[in-house]
Amino acid sequence: MNELKHLPIPLLQWYQENARVLPWRSDPTPYKVLVSEIMLQQTRVAAVKDYFQRFIKVLPTVADLATVEEDRLLKLWQGLGYYNRARNLQKAARQVIEQFGGKFPASYDALRTLAGVGDYTAGAIASIAFGIPVPAVDGNVLRVVSRITGNGDDITKLSTKKRMSQAVGAVIPVRAPGDFNQALMELGATVCLPNGAPLCHRCPAGEFCRARQENRTDALPVRPPKKMRKMEKRTVFLLFYKGRVALRRRPERGLLAGLWEYPNELFPVEKIPEEWGLAATGVSFAAVGRHIFTHVEWRMTALVADLENDCLPKGWVWAGRMELDRDYAVPSAFGLFRSFVEDRLRAGERSERP
């Protein structure tokens, strides 16, 4: 991976001229770097910007994050998905308070002990917030390194990641480790693109990049073929009573753990299950929708019913428009039904007025 030794100077120059202005870059405290990096896992920069600003406004310090109620935290996270990231973020904040006296430790190994903080995130905080020369190798960086070095090893393998991290670590400039790591990620995100042709004519590594010279940019990086996603048909019940909609909490483990949802069951359930003990005036079709998770796709049919009374199974709640907006984190898988639900709630509110 000798090509990498040519990288630091042109890359840092390129970064100075091309770095995007992002809200977490202006004052990269360890807390802000942690929050932004966790949000950016599995989520695009454009989507994260507003979430990050709102999050930091409501929870400006690590102590605020450590003490916020879980429902409030999940509400702030609503729409970002992968909610365990938010829970781990809070666990990490509590560790910082309890184990490190409220200050992030200025050590890669100590950062690595925080909940949800892997090699990449520890490297990002250490290099960006503390100026420690350690690599921060994410998917973008693996792609760039694979292409520059013409390396055809499977980038999903731990051994490949380790070798590439070591190769990056060997060329990190000690005076600008944070900028160097961010520049590599930025190059991957904006120039050395994952799908479609990379913009090699704009790339500071163009002159020594093996993939470009050998015309192999579309063959690198190498990863195993994706497994087929499982498909699940689900029937979603939008149940109303006097301007409120019924929600139930999902189990504490597994997909969307602990979040609130409209009650739903696997197809072929097509009417309100008897064991819920609910009396409805009639059930009709409301909408269809689908949502794609990493390993499963939900194909949903939503049915709507007005209930005859407000008795709900244990653990379920009624939510009016305001509570739905303010108190309950309903995952974006159900976002397709949001306008339908809001219209019904509004109509219910009107009919309740004296």
- The distance of closest approach from Cβ of residue 24 to ligand SF4 in the complex, given in angstroms and rounded to an integer, is 24
| 7 lines the binding site for ligand SF4 (CB under 6 A) | no
| 272 lines the binding site for ligand SF4 (CB under 6 A) | no
Strands 244-249 and 230-241: antiparallel
User: 289 forms bridges with which residues in the sheet?
Assistant: 300
| 184 lines the binding site for ligand SF4 (CB under 6 A) | no
| 155 lines the binding site for ligand SF4 (CB under 6 A) | no
Measured distance CA(126)–CA(244) in Å, rounded: 48
**In the block, which residue shows the tokens 């393998």?**
157
| 147 lines the binding site for ligand SF4 (CB under 6 A) | yes
Whether the CB-CB separation of 181 and 124 falls below 8 Å is answered with yes
User: 290 forms bridges with which residues in the sheet?
Assistant: 299
Whether the CB-CB separation of 34 and 121 falls below 8 Å is answered with yes
| 150 lines the binding site for ligand SF4 (CB under 6 A) | no
CA 247 to chain centre: 24
From 69-77, 94-102, 165-173, 194-202, span contacting ligand SF4 (CB under 6 A):
194-202
Measured distance CA(40)–CA(7) in Å, rounded: 25
- The distance of closest approach from Cβ of residue 42 to ligand SF4 in the complex, given in angstroms and rounded to an integer, is 22
Residue 301: burial class (beta carbons within 10 Å; 0-12, 13-18, 19+): middle
Give ∠ CA 127-132-137 in degrees, rounded to 5.
45
From 131-139, 190-198, 312-320, 323-331, span contacting ligand SF4 (CB under 6 A):
190-198
From 66-74, 123-131, 195-203, 325-333, span contacting ligand SF4 (CB under 6 A):
195-203
- The distance of closest approach from Cβ of residue 205 to ligand SF4 in the complex, given in angstroms and rounded to an integer, is 4
Site string for ligand SF4, 208-247 (x = CB under 6 A): -x-xx----x------------------------------
> At residue 164, what is the residue type?
M
> At residue 8, what is the residue type?
P
User: 303 forms bridges with which residues in the sheet?
Assistant: 237, 285
Instruction: Name which position in 105, 139, 178, 198 contacts ligand SF4 (CB under 6 A).
Output: 198
From 19-27, 75-83, 196-204, 229-237, span contacting ligand SF4 (CB under 6 A):
196-204
**In the block, which residue shows the tokens 């990056």?**
168
| 192 lines the binding site for ligand SF4 (CB under 6 A) | yes
Give catalytic residues, as residue numbers. Answer: 37
- The binding site for ligand SF4 (CB under 6 A) comprises 144, 147-148, 191-192, 198-200, 203, 205-206, 209, 211-212, 217
